[in-house]
A and B are shown apart, each in its own frame.
Chain A
Amino acid sequence: MTNGTVLSSRVRLARNYEDLPFDTGKKPEEAATCISRTANALALSGLGDGFQLIRLNTLTDTQRKALAESRLISKDLLREPETAAVLLRHEDAVSVMINEEDHLRIQAVRPGLDLLGAASACFRVDDALSRQVAFAFDKQLGYLTACPTNTGTGMRASLLMHLPMLTVCKQMGNVGQIVAKVGLTIRGVYGEGNEALGNLYQVSNQVTLGRTEQELISAVTAVGHQLKDMEAVLREKTFTTSRVTLEDTIFRAWGLMKFARIMPLKEFFKHWSGVRLGAELGLLPVSLETVDALLEQCQDANLQAQAETTLSGILLDAKRALTIRKALK
């Protein structure tokens, strides 16, 4: 019953060059130094194969946003597209963002619950770079970052989780408290403010200083397991006490996703969660991979990038509905 509650695991490391000011995104000259230094260092290290250097100003606005929707780059990297760049290895979703809040953000994403896998991919890049270049590091404070909330390991380890039952049963407040007690934080991934569209949450470490990377990863992993178990218990309970209601929600979502001709983004997220739950419970004839892929394909910029034209309003929502129907055939 618990299969697939964790969609993906992500680790990112913040790194800065000792001799450059922090906000290189706003300083074209230093930004250029940052890009060439990083690209050269990676090439010299022998790890450069497979990495592609993409300067964000060579992409269209839609292409940039599509990269962020796919979580290969952060939304923050889009703030200064003229000076930002990314070294991207598509095959296993490893990226080195350049001129973000910090000079470098080394990031790796792995499917399912695999923070260790994501972390070791980041560490390989970190080690390769640190043999070539000097990062700002202090024996007492660790890696020095632009914002004191990242000082120390500079590491943020996060899990993307689908928690529909905890949400429906109004348990997310409790969950927030449990998570905060162990120095972690949980928030909705999509939507404004406190919204959590698609019942998708990101749980990650809040603290970065004074604990080793392994300790932080263990803490996030442990909480990931705990939330997975809490969600499973509620699913089990709902399945026995109000099975018809649960099935109705899932099959209504399935019906709308399979047949609707116009699908606004918010409505998509709502039904996506129903279909995801149905797939997790083995009630619907669709794989988790197909459902998860929709999450990326059906967001605005990805739809537009695919259509190779700017769509808006009803045209965009119709394109979304079509994409869903094709995938769920």
Chain B
Amino acid sequence: MLCEECKVNEATYTLSVMMGDEVKTRHLCGECMAKMNMTLNSGNIKNLLSSILSAITGNDTPAEKQQEVVCPRCRTTLSQFTKSGHLGCPGCYEAFHEQLQPMLLQIHGRVQHAGRQPLATEDAQRARSRQEQLTRLMEQAVALEDFETAAQLRDQLRALAAKEAQA
């Protein structure tokens, strides 16, 4: 079997990467294995990340033929990320979700956050108290059978909820 990396020498090593329950395997020659080991041992996290990714995805398809994933928000491409190890913006987490998930699992062993969360910002707190105020007024209007006012208040509440959902 030929080395999957250089496609010149005979493959003498098998590299296995655990991804969740799945094991991805690549066959490499001594030279390419040594290169991979050097990257893994250099302690350079950027190289480590890109070697994990390339070990997982393989280099079977020439880069230009691979479908390039692009973050719609900051235009960072997946290959830029794998090369640098740095994401372009918070939106990249969603854009590269599929590739990031196994990588995060590999790095941290878990992919569900535990721990602190941001406190509600004062804006959010103000919005919440505005919501409570509108709800109270609507209930009063219903009690007084003033349905026109109640409907107006209901629309305002919906608009507020939609705005919050967007944020």
Contacts and interface: CB of A to CB of B under 8 A. Distances in A.
A135 B118 contact: yes
B121 A210 contact: no
A139 B112 CA distance: 8
Interface residues of A, number: 42
Given A146-B86, A147-B45, A210 B109 contact: yes
Contacts of B89: 20-22
Interface in A281-311: none
A148 B49 CA distance: 9
15 contacts: A21-B89, A101-B86, A141-B93, A141-B111, A142-B113, A142-B115, A144-B90, A147-B85, A209-B108, A210-B109, A210-B112, A210-B114, A211-B114, A212-B115, A213-B115
B159 interface: no
Interface in A108-140: 123, 126-127, 130-140
Contacts of A134: 118, 121, 167
Interface of B: 45, 49, 74, 85-90, 93, 100, 103-104, 107-122, 167
B106 to A, nearest CB: 9
Given A148-B103, A152-B115, 16 more contacts: A16-B90, A18-B90, A20-B89, A21-B89, A23-B86, A130-B119, A131-B121, A132-B121, A134-B121, A142-B114, A142-B115, A207-B107, A209-B107, A209-B110, A209-B111, A210-B112
Contacts of A148: 49, 85, 87, 100, 103-104, 107
A37 B116 CA distance: 22
A208 interface: yes
Contacts of B85: 147-148
A146 B85 CA distance: 9
B118 A207 contact: no
B103 A127 contact: no
A149 B121 contact: no
Contact of B116 (A138, A144, A153, A207): A153
Nearest to B45: A149
A132, A135, A147, A208: most-surrounded residue (chain B CB, <10 A): A147
